[in-house]
Structure 1
Amino acid sequence: MSPLVTFDINAIILGMVVVVLVIFGLVGLGFIIFTLFRWRGRENRSIDSVLLQIAVPRGNEIKIDAMEQLFAGLFAIKKGGWKQRFSVQPTISFEIVARPEDIKFYVWTPKSLKDLVEKQIHGAYQDAEILEIDEYNIFTKDGKVAYKSLQLKKQNYYPVKVFKDLPTDPLAAITSTLGKMGEGEAAAIQVLISPAGSDWQKQGNKFIADTKKQESDPEKAKFSVPAKTLEAVESKIAKPGFEVSIRIIAVAPQKGMADAHLRNIVGAFEQFSSELSGFKKRKIRRKGTFMEDFLYRYQPMFHLFGNRQSILNSEELATIYHFPNKLVTTPHIYWLYAKTTPAPAEVPTQGLYLGMS
């Protein structure tokens, strides 16, 4: 083969490689541009929000499944049609914040959804007190910060343990770790939710159908997937799902103590691990990005380096986050002991004097 022919072949191969790289580059650039377009205005949406402090009576006997109904009701915020393709779904954050001898529950929501959120909370917890408050701050000038984000270990259609599978209220284990804050220490758990599409449920249905089809063929049947696994997947995908981001932050004067608190809180999430799935630590490349997402309550814009979006259904969410009842005996929880009520409408606000005549 002459040198000229060899050169032509090499040039053609090089040209094809360049074309392929350009195509991949354009596709990647297009994906980034489209993603940025969908997330446009997220800072303004984050600022246009309210923080609600939730307190319930200490003696209440409301069960966890009431919270499941609350989450199921919030699925109504889901955007449909073309809106779900060209803009992101609304986000609501359910949070627990701990300081020395103080554990409080919060819900952060866009102002446009405040009335709906309050209605859902009162529908599940009739005696709850809901107060709109200023933003809290767990950080101190010289405090050391430890942080983690959690995601599901396996495909989204595999369930974690739910409250029906657990011997005790899982909130007790979580609040127990939060109740150990000392002077100058604090911690926060943030559970962000956004309504999910139906793709994860379709994947679950496909997994079930493919498994049943394979096991119905005597030549291919291995029966490697237990029937209870298929039942568990079917049960999960039957309920509304939410894209979920779980973030945990601990602050302390010494880094070692902040790390210890973080390990304890993350360890409390091990109780949700089942044979099918559980939670693992999400890779965090930049502290600054994590802190920005935490403070602004952003859902992750991209899922890179092995990270992916986790989806939990309403039952799983209720298991992880719910308001306490009398069975949760952790000290320092902020309970509602007396609920203030507005004065009767007929009571005058001016010209009324009380005292001795």
Structure 2
Amino acid sequence: MAVFSWIVNLILQSAFIWIPILFGIIFWFSYRAYQREKFIKEKLEFALLEINIPKDVFKSPQAMEMAIDVLYYLGGGAMTWQERFWFGAVLYPSSLEIVSIEGSVYFFIRTSTKLAPAVKSAIYSQYPNAEVNEVDDYTKYVPDYNKYHADWSLNGLDYKLSKDVFFPIKTYVDYGLDAAVGKLEEYEKIDPLSTVIEFLGTIGPGEQAWIQYVIQPDAWSTWRTKAEAYIEKLISRTQGGSDDEEDKSFGRQLTSGEKDQIKAIERSLSKHAFECVIRTIYLARNENINKATKGYLKSSLFLPFNSLYLNSIRKNNETSYDWVWEDITGMRYPILKKRFFNDYVARAGFNEPFWKYFNFIWYKRRPQVILTSEELATLFHIPGRVSESSAVERIEAKKSEAPINLPV
């Protein structure tokens, strides 16, 4: 008891020190959250762009990578410390989306209205026969989810990386698509996105599947230091240059897997990187629910991009619970579904309200996901003729010519 009394007295006697500090911290974070929300409401407006796929595409996903790089160069907003921490300026988030509505597949980019013209120009410069049009948000044609909409069922997921973020996923370069243009026939190419498109084409009547990648430029790049340290560690083992006496691997040759790791990580270091939130939504009328589709989104959607020696994308949160005791009353389940739906519609993930940092009651904390422009272009690009799926409607020719002064 004496120790307890001493601790209580110490806390009370030092209150004049820690209470002002505590309230100062609370005020600072609250002020920043207020300024950030004010900036977002007053300065940020968004446009949803639909990409109509041309009939013949003979370019590798590198063309889309160059278009995605525009979102990095122009994703400014928080240009100085003063603008970011005092005036609430934020980086401009964008969203890359592949959507299946009853088996018809669509490609969308949602970005700031300030960036939309540059994004259009970037796509036209790489795909002159494509069409890019501003369209209504497809999510507004689905009833706002709540448990009283008994005719609709919803299943949502978000995803994380299985290893440290500096390990890249398997990209189009690993599939040889960067060197295949002009060298291989279409039937000889392997495009990992084709598997995803074929799956989305199987979505039946009364069903919808939405895939979303919310991105913003990686402002801190702390992963690069870790990546360089990892490469140095692997190389030092072959040279005996480490001080770790317990490591008996010095002087050995790098394995083929380690060589591939170094090559892939070094390639990532040369690319622009984005913070990313990956989520999917499966919607279906109760009479059309397909459990196989739900299972595919949960465990198989990203298999073509996963690698045992590099990185993998796997499930993080889901709109269900593994154990009965996690939702004994059944109240959390519909709330979780509604929050997933609202987050998808809002393209949430960055610059969220301050109270959301305490949402661990509903979500497991979402780990950081970093993807380079090469990885994003692998996950989201205009498919060539290697993907012959009828689910993707292709246009014969675009209705109007792109401006002649666009960069190529």
**TM-score range, shorter-chain basis?**
0.7 to 0.9
Structure 2 partner of 1:61:
58
Residue 315 of structure 2 corresponds to which residue in structure 1?
281
Question: What code does the residue aligned with 2:347 have?
Answer: R
Match for residue 160 of structure 2 among 147, 151, 168: 151
> Which residue in the other structure is 1:108 paired with?
110
Matched, 1:10 2:16: no
CA distance in 1, matches of 2:9, 2:234: 44
Distance of aligned partners of 1:212 and 1:253 in 2 relative to their CA distance in 1, 3 Å threshold: same
Contact kept? 1:46, 1:297, Cα under 8 Å: no
Instruction: Give the distance between the partners of 2:233 and 2:24, measured in 1 at CA.
Output: 31
| RMSD between aligned residues | 3.2
- 11-20 vs 197-206, greater mean Cα deviation: 11-20
- Decide whether the 8 Å contact of 2:156 with 2:318 is kept in 1: no
Counterpart secondary structure, 1:70: helix
2:266 equivalent to 1:234: yes
Q: Which residue of 2 aligns with 1:192?
A: 214
129-138 vs 59-68, greater mean Cα deviation: 129-138
Give, in whole Å, the separation in 2 of the partners of 1:208 and 1:277: 16
Point out where structure 2 has 5 or more consecutive residues left out of the alignment.
144-148, 176-188, 320-335, 402-408
Kindly indicate whether the alpha-carbon contact (under 8 Å) linking 2:47 and 2:113 is maintained by their aligned counterparts in 1: yes
In structure 2, the residue matched to 1:250 is: 282
Q: Return the alpha-carbon distance in structure 1 between the equivalents of residues 235 and 200 of structure 2.
A: 45
**Contact 2:99/2:210 (8 A) holds in 1:** yes
Question: How many residue pairs get matched?
Answer: 336
DSSP-derived class of the 1:201 partner: helix
Quote the residue 2:80 is aligned against. 81
1:134-173 deviations in Å (ceiling 9; x for gaps): 1213635622111111121222111111112237211111
CA distance in 2, matches of 1:35, 1:233: 35
Displacement of 1:77:
1.8
Contact 1:38/1:88, CA 8 A, preserved across alignment: no
- Per the TM alignment, residue 211 of structure 1 is displaced from its structure 2 partner at its CA by 5.4
TM-score relative to the length of structure 2: 0.72
Q: Deviations over 1:196-255 (max 9, x none)?
A: 022222232233345556751363544498344333322222211001111111111238
After TM superposition, give the deviation of residue 38 of structure 1 in Å.
6.2
Q: 1:59 to 1:98 in 2, by over 3 A?
A: same
Match of 2:381 among 312, 322, 330: 322
Question: 2:377 aligned with 1:334, yes or no?
Answer: no
Deviates more, 1:328-337 or 1:275-284: 275-284
1:178 pairs with 2:200? yes
Provide the C-alpha distance between the structure 1 equivalents of 2:39 and 2:248, rounded to a whole number of angstroms: 49
Please tell me whether the aligned partners of residues 281 and 341 of structure 2 are also in contact (alpha carbons under 8 angstroms). Answer: no
Contact 1:45/1:110 (8 A) holds in 2: no
Larger Rg belongs to:
1
TM-score relative to the length of structure 1: 0.82
Amino acid at match of 1:162: T
